[in-house]
């Protein structure tokens, strides 16, 4: 089916009277857009937990992504570990830092969004400063394993090729795997029921014997751990540096707000809409213009539908 579809695209490209449009190039652009979708989903998933579930405006989310990337860099440099083997360590390290932050800072600020925003903003500056003191501001590089490098050719006709990067496929696979695992934990386990109970009615959950402090700490730590995994997976795409997390923070917020903060499937939908829209517009115009248009569309969406596209009901 896919081969027939691609063959049709190649035929259209060869027979198209327009010289400015290439169906092959456009298809490759959309396949690259799938890689953007995977990155958005990875970086937005942890934020969907800390903001969507706990209602914590975490402006230090990008720094937890950065910590995950540095964890992988250290393990590769010191122990020569494969990137995939560093993923559990990145999760555990960033989850531990997240648990400490929740116990020492966030716990005292529940129900005070403005103070939480300022506190996490200050925390992001502190984390960047500490990392810069330890590793300096020099760029670091993480190696991708040889078995997930290169491109996968889907179709070839003469010198025209439709292909996708194997590493981007790996990113998409990891993003979907973490989305499924998070959905299972939230909706199919006792811990997930306690998390949702605490989110909806903290006092009632406490009366029923739920340890709300433990649930809060575990939930925030899990969200930070997901950010750490995102940092590991995307660390080999770009150089690792203290401010790298800020590049992903805005995209993560756009993904969560667009899809809707109450539903995990909204994060997937938001990532797909933003990623593919950005790729399609960038083909006809350019990357900066596409980013401006997508960001403006998200602002308009927030103006008229602040709960997001896929939120069914609001919590009080």
Q: What is the per-residue pLDDT across 232-254, written as a single tens digit (0 to 9) for each?
A: 999 988 889 999 988 888 888 88
pLDDT for position 104: 93
235 and 223 in contact (C-beta within 8 Å)? Answer: no
Query: pLDDT band at 9, cuts 50/70/90?
Result: very low
Residue 260's contacts (CB-CB under 8 Å, 6 or more residues apart) are 266, 269, 270, 307, 308, 309, 310, 311
Cα distances from 65 to residues 135, 153, 176, 234, in angstroms, run: 16, 31, 18, 9
Helix (H, G, I), strand (E, B) or coil at 288: helix
- The end-to-end CA distance of the chain, in Å, is 47
pLDDT > 80? residue 128: yes
Q: For 79, how many CA atoms within 13 A lie in the half-sphere containing its CB?
A: 10
Query: pLDDT band at 77, cuts 50/70/90?
Result: very high
Give me the mean pLDDT over the 7-16 stretch.
Answer: 47
Residue 253's contacts (CB-CB under 8 Å, 6 or more residues apart) are 44, 47
The secondary element (H helix, E strand) that includes residue 241 is none
pLDDT for position 134: 94
pLDDT > 90? residue 69: yes
pLDDT for position 35: 85
Residue 30's contacts (CB-CB under 8 Å, 6 or more residues apart) are 276, 279, 280
The whole-angstrom separation of Cα 257 and Cα 202 is 24
Q: pTM value?
A: 0.86
Residue 315's contacts (CB-CB under 8 Å, 6 or more residues apart) are 199, 200, 262
Sequence-ordered strand ranges (E) for the chain: 151-157, 160-165
Give me the mean pLDDT over the 293-305 stretch.
Answer: 86
pLDDT for position 73: 95
Instruction: Give the model confidence (pLDDT) of 195-209 as tens digits.
Output: 888 888 888 888 888
pLDDT for position 6: 47
Helix (H, G, I), strand (E, B) or coil at 21: coil
The whole-angstrom separation of Cα 29 and Cα 32 is 5
| 203 C-beta neighbours (distance < 10 Å), count | 9
Residue 249's contacts (CB-CB under 8 Å, 6 or more residues apart) are 59, 61, 62
The whole-angstrom separation of Cα 11 and Cα 155 is 12
| Percent of the chain predicted with pLDDT > 90 | 35
Find where tokens 């993480």 sit: 142
The rounded mean pLDDT for the chain is 85
Residue 76's contacts (CB-CB under 8 Å, 6 or more residues apart) are 83, 86, 142, 143
Q: Cα torsion for 221, 226, 228, 231, to the nearest 10°? A: -160
pLDDT for position 19: 53
Least reliable range by pLDDT among 64-68, 110-114, 298-302, 307-311 = 307-311
Give me the mean pLDDT over the 148-173 stretch.
Answer: 85
Tokens of 11: 């035929």
pLDDT > 50? residue 151: yes
pLDDT for position 10: 47
196 and 251 in contact (C-beta within 8 Å)? Answer: no
The whole-angstrom separation of Cα 52 and Cα 261 is 4
Helix (H, G, I), strand (E, B) or coil at 51: helix
Find where tokens 């998070």 sit: 182
pLDDT > 80? residue 1: no
pLDDT > 50? residue 191: yes
Find where tokens 């938001």 sit: 270
């Amino acid at each position: 089916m896919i081969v027939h579809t691609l063959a049709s695209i190649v035929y259209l490209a060869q027979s198209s009277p327009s010289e400015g449009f290439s169906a092959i190039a456009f298809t490759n652009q959309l396949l690259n857009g799938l890689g953007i979708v995977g990155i958005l989903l990875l970086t937005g998933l942890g934020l969907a937990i800390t903001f969507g579930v706990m209602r914590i405006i975490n402006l230090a989310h990008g720094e937890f992504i950065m910590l995950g990337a540095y964890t992988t860099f250290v393990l590769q440099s010191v122990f020569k570990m494969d990137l995939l083997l560093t993923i559990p360590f990145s999760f555990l390290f960033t989850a531990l830092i997240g648990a400490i932050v929740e116990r020492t800072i966030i716990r005292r600020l529940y129900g005070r969004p403005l103070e939480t925003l300022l506190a996490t903003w200050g925390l992001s500056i502190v984390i960047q400063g500490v990392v810069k003191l330890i590793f300096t501001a020099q760029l670091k590089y993480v190696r991708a394993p040889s078995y997930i490098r290169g491109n996968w050719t889907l179709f070839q006709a003469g010198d025209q090729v439709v292909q996708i990067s194997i590493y981007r496929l790996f990113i998409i696979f990891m993003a979907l795997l973490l989305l499924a695992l998070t959905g299972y934990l939230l909706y199919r386990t006792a811990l997930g029921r306690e998390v949702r109970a605490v989110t909806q009615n903290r006092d009632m959950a406490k009366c029923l014997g739920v340890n709300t402090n433990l649930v809060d700490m575990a939930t925030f730590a899990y969200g930070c751990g997901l950010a750490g995994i995102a940092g590991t997976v995307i660390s080999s795409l770009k150089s690792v540096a203290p401010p790298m997390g800020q590049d992903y923070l805005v995209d993560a917020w756009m993904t969560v707000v667009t899809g809707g903060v109450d539903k995990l499937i909204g994060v997937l939908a938001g990532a797909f809409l933003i990623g593919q829209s950005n790729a399609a517009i960038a083909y006809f115009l350019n990357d900066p213009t596409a980013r401006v248009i997508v960001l403006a569309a998200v602002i308009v969406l927030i103006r008229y539908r602040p709960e997001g596209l896929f939120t069914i009901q609001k919590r009080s």
